[in-house]
Structures are given as C-alpha cells and as structure tokens.
A and B are shown apart, each in its own frame.
Chain A
Amino acid sequence: MASVTLDRIRKTYPNGHVAARDLSLEIADGEFMVLVGPSGCGKSTALRVIAGLETPTGGRVLIGDRDVTDLPPQERDIAMVFQSYALYPHMTVRENLGFGLRMRGVDARVIGERTTRTAEALGLEPVLDRKPGQLSGGQRQRVALGRAMVREPLAFLFDEPLSNLDAKLRVETRAELARLHRRLAATIVYVTHDQEEALTLGGRVAVLRDGVVEQVAPPMELYRRPATAFVGGFVGSPAMNLLPGQIVGRTDGATLGVRPHDVAIVGAGQGDVDARVDVVEPRGSELLIYLRLAGESGQEVRVVAPPEPMIPADTSVGVRFDRERMHWFDKGGRALGR
C-alpha cells in the first residue's frame, strides 16, 4: 500500500471544460478518502488522473514517493472499480479475477491460489465458471471488487461503485466495504455524489466544487464545522438552512447557516422570528416541517421537530435558533469565527 498525492492538478478538456483547477489532495497510506460533490465538480476527473486514464494539463501525481504523472495506467499498480463494473463479458468470473495477475506475468499456480482465496472471501466460488451476463447485480459488483482485491495493488480507486445497486443492497455493501478497508488496511480513493455515503464510509472526506477542494476533514468535523456555506449546504440531510443576513457592525452581507435539527419551534412571538407552517412531512421518528418566515422575504426554513405534538399546516409559530450551533459565512461563503 502507498500514499497518493495530487499536487496542484489542472485539467482542461479539449472542449474547454475545466474539470480541475489547482486541485491538491494528500491521501495517507491506508486511508479511506472519499471525494464527494455535485456532478461536474471534478471528482471523477481526479480519480481518472490518479488512475492514469486522463493526463492532467498541469500538476503532478505521486503514488508513494514516485512521480507517476507521465506513466500509463498499466505501470501504476493501482486497481479501479468502475461504476459500470466493466467486467470482461467474454471471460468467466475466474478469468476476470485472474486477468490482472496474468497481465503481470504471475505464475499460473499462484493466480489459481489467489483467485480461489479472493472468491472465497467474497462468496463467489459457486459462480467462478459463469460469465458476467449470468450474474445478478450484486454478484457482478463483488466480481468487480474481487478483480481489484486479487491484485493487492498500491491503492484502490472506486468510481461510484454502489450506484447501480438497489437501496437495500447498497447499505449492505457499504458496510462490507468498511469492513474490507479495516481488514486490508488499504489506501482507498472513493468517488461518490451521495453525501450520506461519503459520511458513513470516509476516514476523511474531500468536498469538491468546480474543480477545487472546498474542505477536507473527517466526516463529523465536516458536519460540525463546515468551512464554506457550500459544504454546509451539501453535507447533512435535510440540508442546512442558509439565510441571508447581516452582522451588526459590518456593512457587507453575510449568510447564516442553521441545521434543521438546531431550530426549535416555540409559540408565536416567543422566538427570534415569527413564521407560518407551510408543509409538514411526518418521517416516523420525527417531523420535517417547512416554515415560511414572516416579513417580505418569505424565506423557507426547514425544521426537524419531535413527532409530538403534531403541528398542523398554516399555524403561526415562533422560531428559535440554537445560538451554539449557528454558522456564519461571509459574502464569499467562507466560514467566520463564532
């Protein structure tokens, strides 16, 4: 295993699209790093640059201490799990698993042993002689995983590997991936657009936007102390309320961020502001309430409230923000000290 370093990576596609601008990221040996962000933020490009499938326009890629910027993928000794799995359809599961070893000229007996061992670990023995077309979605996913594992590479790259699974299987596989990481102590770079997946899996999470890293932090810190308004709004569900405001003593505008869990509903006139209940969504263990603030702005505020008492729509209420958990962002979206 090895560390992976992106050093001021720039990537402009021939059609003029800028996918990465001065993107720097250090992934430690054995770390589970998740790259997350909306589509087009450059996370997939970053992964493909590490794999060697894209050549950066500028900057360097290091695997361990070795500069691999100009090396083709086959000389980087990394493994990648594709979103579509990209299993070789004309080969059996056994041949799929052994392909990478065969390409590296590993002895046939060793290939056999390692293939069998990997198949056992993933419960793939019964389907070793089938072709990908005869497998279920979950089995294909595990073959793709096995094909990466069997090689014992310097680092694993995952490109949204769970997005083709149904919801139940996705949660199961997510837990399996976390266990796998603990067992292998492998360096993993994992790309997803799903912030929940990012928080549950990542040792550290890098939030990307428009080709730059907005913040890199462990999941809970990302949630508690978002460095920018964008990170605040992107991480956490339901999303953070971002309200335009002004700080006393400053002339430029600012944004107040409050998570729906940190807003309390009180009687009308007793809170910081008054509001009217717009929509109430019961979610079993809690209510998600959409409020409209009084005044001309009519700003929407999402509040998570206990299921009792049930609050009917069109009620007038007061809203109180938890002072300890308010986030202030300046005009450019950067977090301000509390």
Chain B
Amino acid sequence: MTGRHGAARRDWWTAAAVGALILATAFPFYWAIVSSFTPESQLFRSPSLFPRQFVLAHYRALFVERQFWVPIRNSLVVAGTTTVFCVTVGAFCAYALARLRFRGKVPLLGLILAVSMFPQISVVSPLYLLLRSLHLINTYPGLILPYLTFAMPLTVWLLVGIFRQLPAELEEAAMVDGASRLRTFREVVIPLALPGLATTAILTFVYSWNEFLFALSFTLGPERQTVPVAIALLRGQYQVPWGQILASAIVATAPVALLVLAFQRRIVQGLTAGAVKG
C-alpha cells in the first residue's frame, strides 16, 4: 500500500517540477509578448498578467520607422549561409572522421575542438585586422567567414557522433552491393542521418543567428547589422524604447522557435527503426 502511495506522490512531485520548469522558461517569453503589444505609456503602470490594451504601435515603429527588416534579412543571409556551408562541408569531414581509418585522426579531432575553445574576444582584434586588409569589413563574407570558426567545430563534432551511431553493417552491405564510399554516403548514410543533420543544422543556425560580438565588431552601419546588433542599438542616449526592444526580441525569436517546432517530429522520430534485428 505504502509503495503505491509513494509512487503517486512521486508522480505528483514530477508534475509539479515539470510545471515549475515550464513556467520558469515560458513566462519571460509570455511577458515579452504581452508587453510588446502594450502601449509605451502603460508599460510601467501596475503590471498585469493579461494585456488591457492591444496595440501594434511598437511593431509598426520597428518595421516602418526603423526598417527592422534590414537586420532580419542580414541575419537570414549570414546565419543561413553559415549553416548550409557548415553542414555540407562538415558532413564530409565528420564522415571521414567517423568511419575512415587514417593516421592522426584523434589529434585532428582534438584540434578541431581546440579551435572553438578560444575566447571570442581574444580573436576579435586580429580578425578585424585580417578582414580589413581583405576589404571584408561590413560585408556578408566578412561575417560568414568568422562565424565558421565557431560553427564548423560544433557541426563536425555533432555529426561525428551522429554518424558513429549508425549501424556500420548497413554501410558494409551497401559496399558489398557494389556502392562506392561516396555513393554509400549519399544513398545510405545521408538519408539515415537526416534527423541528426536537421538537428545539427538548427543548432548551427541558432548559434549564428544569436551571435553578437563578431556582428558588432565587423559591421559599420545598419545596412549590414544583424538582428542582435540592431536590438542592442535600439536604445538611444536619452530613452530606452522598451516596447520596441521587446517587439524586436519577439521578431528575432519567432523564426528560430518556428524552425525547431517544424523539425521537432523529424528530430524525435528514429529513422533507423527496422534496420537491424527488431
């Protein structure tokens, strides 16, 4: 009897803990959404859980006066290109590291990881000089290339783990069936690793989308600024437009959140079901 009682109590605790966790993570987001629709004049009045007045003024100001679509476009281009490049090139590197036998594999993996270990701030000035001499300051490549320094190691490491988890017998079967390494990679490995590739792509995209320091240092004007930089520069010298800042935060978060939700099924679903045994 006590056992069942204890189990029920544990369930209750679990539910309470999960509820608290959801509340703690989701509430700031909810608060930001509500505030972004509240008129500036009412923002600092007694706070309310539900919006009393619903205005689009902040969003209008953001897109009409501030032309916020420019940083969004910049961010999409920079994060998108970085992601596509990292996942394509990274997939080849990671497969080689995961499956091929060659000298110096372990040191190479360590080196790749070490590259991402440098504190970002320590490489900002040398990178700035380098990019200036290449005339790449305030350009898209001037952001994408530095982004590869942290995105590429991340991608390669994640993908090595993903490729190693795939049953090696499937690749052996494909090779005995007459497929070359490259063909095996394309026809067997990639389709099976798709959920993992999607997860990796999303993570790389989110990292690049949220990056602030490089974006701030290597851009000069609003025409190449990314979303995080644009948000940071919204605050003026004499006033902080909280409504607009929160509205822009919502706009910056929405695509990432939508992306994760859209791919969630893909990520959770195990594509390898039924491959071996069962």
| Chain A residues with a Cβ under 8 A of chain B | 51-53, 72-74, 76-80, 82, 84-90, 99-100, 103-104, 131-135, 137, 140, 147, 151, 157, 164
Contact = CB atoms under 8 A, between A and B. Distances in A.
29 contacts: A51-B172, A52-B176, A53-B172, A53-B175, A74-B176, A74-B179, A78-B176, A80-B173, A80-B176, A84-B167, A84-B169, A86-B167, A86-B275, A87-B275, A87-B276, A88-B173, A88-B174, A88-B275, A89-B192, A89-B273, A89-B274, A100-B177, A103-B174, A103-B179, A104-B178, A131-B274, A133-B278, A137-B278, A140-B274
Contact of B177 (A52, A89, A99): A99
Interface of B: 167, 169-170, 172-180, 183, 187-188, 191-192, 271-278
Contact of A73 (B167, B175, B188, B272): B175
Contact of B172 (A73, A90, A103): A73
B274 A74 contact: no
Contact of A86 (B271, B273, B276): B276
Contact of A88 (B170, B178, B180): B170
Given A84-B169, A90-B191, A90-B271, A74 B178 contact: yes
B271 A72 contact: no
Interface centre among B175, B178, B187, B271 (most CB of A within 10 A): B178
B136 to A, nearest CB: 41
Given A74-B180, A164-B277, 19 more contacts: A51-B176, A52-B176, A74-B177, A74-B179, A80-B173, A82-B173, A86-B167, A86-B275, A88-B173, A89-B271, A99-B179, A99-B187, A103-B177, A103-B183, A133-B278, A135-B274, A137-B278, A147-B177, A151-B178
Contacts of A151: 177-178
A82 B172 CA distance: 9
A52 B277 CA distance: 23
Nearest to A76: B176
Nearest to A106: B178
Interface centre among A77, A84, A90 (most CB of B within 10 A): A90
A82 B179 contact: no
A89 B272 contact: yes
A136 to B, nearest CB: 9
Contacts of A100: 177-178
A74 B182 CA distance: 12
A89 B275 contact: yes
A151 B173 CA distance: 13
A118 to B, nearest CB: 14
B274 A86 contact: no
Interface centre among A52, A72, A103, A132 (most CB of B within 10 A): A103
B176 A132 contact: no
Interface centre among A82, A89, A133, A151 (most CB of B within 10 A): A89
Given A84-B276, A137-B278, A74 B175 contact: yes
- The 3 A-B residue pairs whose C-beta atoms are closest, nearest first, are A133-B274, A84-B276, A100-B177
Contacts of B170: 86, 88-89
A140 to B, nearest CB: 7
Contacts of B173: 80, 82, 86, 88
Given A90-B191, A131-B274, A133-B278, A82 B169 contact: yes
B13 to A, nearest CB: 37
Nearest to B276: A84
Nearest to B194: A90
Contacts of B272: 89
Contacts of A72: 175
B35 to A, nearest CB: 46
A154 B170 CA distance: 21
A303 to B, nearest CB: 39
Nearest to A130: B274
B57 to A, nearest CB: 50
Contacts of A133: 273-275, 278
B55 to A, nearest CB: 50
A164 B275 CA distance: 13
A103 B169 contact: no
A84 B173 CA distance: 11
A178 to B, nearest CB: 23
Contact of B276 (A51, A79, A85): A85
A324 B106 CA distance: 62
A52 B181 CA distance: 13
